[in-house]
């Protein structure tokens, strides 16, 4: 990845942060600007490397994709069969509709919160190489965010609360007619805490910060960047 590529990607995902209140700016995140850019570059390199392997070596590609699928539902040392249902529905929906807009689908967004953003997007690439890498995916659908904020649709003034997230997660399971549920609300809260520890926005998460998390987080299930 060239310096120009890194700058382009950084500009793409930081332009949305302009004119936000101080409490929502990434200066409250634990990353310095330099670390932020390096994380962004590493994530993009990882995604590009994964696609290169899948395109060039079918045997290795199958092993890599199967390994990713084996991680579904496992996140931060915890496992959830309910999460497996969401992630599987996500990829089934993407495949059936030939969609590459991952964050336009409710089960994909909910699944990413409990199984890892990179895992959900990488498996989508396994199924369809037209799906962009994590940092290049289209922005979170405002329709999905509205479902996450009890009907509030403004990108600037609406934020997702802890209770909103719990309702969204259980509602996403209901929407796919799941008969499997999280082990406890504490399990759902742990997923919420993992997001807020990254966004550093306090008790609620605005649209722009959650959208950045979907594109920039390098989480527990991320594929490590290939050595240069």
**pLDDT tens sequence across 149-204:** 999 988 888 999 999 999 999 999 999 999 999 999 999 999 999 999 999 999 99
Q: CB neighbours (10 Å) of residue 88?
A: 17
Is the pLDDT confidence value at 51 over 60? no
Alpha-carbon distance of 141 to 138, in angstroms, equals: 8
Question: Which residue ranges make up each domain of the chain?
Answer: 3-216
Alpha-helical segments (H) within the chain: 3-14, 33-56, 58-69, 81-97, 106-115, 117-127, 142-148, 162-175, 185-199, 207-216
Q: Express as a percent the part of the chain with pLDDT over 90.
A: 63
**Distance separating alpha carbons of residues 24 and 128, to the nearest angstrom:** 35
Q: Which of 73, 160, 167 is nearest to 120 (CA)?
A: 73
- Dist CA 34 CA 48 (whole Å): 21
Structure tokens at 202: 């306090």
Q: Which of 86-95, 110-119, 213-222 has the lowest mean pLDDT?
A: 213-222
At residue 160, the 3 state secondary structure works out as strand
Phi, psi of 79 (to 5 degrees): -130, 140
Note the pLDDT of residue 155: 87
> What pLDDT is stored for residue 63 in this prediction?
66
Q: Is 34 exposed, middle or buried (0-12, 13-18, 19+ CB in 10 A)?
A: exposed
Helix axes 33-56, 117-127, angle to 10 degrees: 30
* Per-residue pLDDT reduced to its tens digit, 2-17: 445 545 555 555 554 4
- 140 alpha-carbon distance from chain centroid: 10
Q: Is residue 209 over pLDDT 50?
A: yes
Name the pLDDT band for 34 (thresholds 50, 70, 90): very low
pLDDT band at 213 (very low <50, low <70, confident <90, very high): very high
The answer to pTM > 0.85 is: no
């Amino acid at each position: 990845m060239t310096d120009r590529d890194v700058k382009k990607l950084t500009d793409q995902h930081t332009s949305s942060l302009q004119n936000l209140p101080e409490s929502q700016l990434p200066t409250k995140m634990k990353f310095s600007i330099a670390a932020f850019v390096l994380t962004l570059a590493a994530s993009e390199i990882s995604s590009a490397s994964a696609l290169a392997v899948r395109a060039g070596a079918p045997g290795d590609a199958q092993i890599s994709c199967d390994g990713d699928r084996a991680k579904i539902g496992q996140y931060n040392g915890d496992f959830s069969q309910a999460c497996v249902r969401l992630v599987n529905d996500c990829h089934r929906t993407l495949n059936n509709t030939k969609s590459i807009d991952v964050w336009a689908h409710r089960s994909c967004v909910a699944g990413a919160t409990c199984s890892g953003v990179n895992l959900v997007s990488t498996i989508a690439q396994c199924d369809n190489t037209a799906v962009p890498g994590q940092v290049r995916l289209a922005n979170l659908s405002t329709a999905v965010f509205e479902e996450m904020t009890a009907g509030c649709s403004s990108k600037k003034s609406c934020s997702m609360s802890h209770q909103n997230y719990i309702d969204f997660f259980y509602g996403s399971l209901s929407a796919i007619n799941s008969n499997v549920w999280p082990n406890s609300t504490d399990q759902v809260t742990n997923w919420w805490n993992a997001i807020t520890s990254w966004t550093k926005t306090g008790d609620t998460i605005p649209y722009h910060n959650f959208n950045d998390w979907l594109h920039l987080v390098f989480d527990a299930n991320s594929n490590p960047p290939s050595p240069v």
